[in-house]
Amino acid sequence: MVMADGPRHLQRGPVRVGFYDIEGTLGKGNFAVVKLGRHRITKTEVAIKIIDKSQLDAVNLEKIYREVQIMKLLDHPHIIKLY
């Protein structure tokens, strides 16, 4: 018998990336999407940017490199530090 929600073995739990559960989409761009993540232990909310590398041409790849370089310069308690 199949219930209205579908078979139990086909239902999926939250998508996980490392220690984070992906809970929804915060925003979208030309070649990236930003998802809301929640740490499984601390319940801290974070933004996770996922870049679709298959959509990157030379110009957009340069934009990504520039963004990473700028992120490396930032020093703020609410922005992850890139090295």
pLDDT tens, residue order, the chain (83 aa): 333 444 545 557 778 888 999 999 999 988 889 999 999 999 999 888 888 888 789 998 898 889 889 989 999 998 877 76
- From residue 4, alpha-carbon distances to 9, 11, 13, 14 in Å are 13, 12, 17, 20
The alpha carbon dihedral of 15, 32, 44, 83 has a sign of positive
Is residue 79 within 8 A of residue 68, CB to CB? The reply is no
Q: Is 28 flagged in the annotation as binding?
A: no
Class of domain 13-73: alpha beta
**Which stretch of DSSP H or E encloses residue 23?**
strand 20-28
Q: What is the pLDDT of residue 53?
A: 84
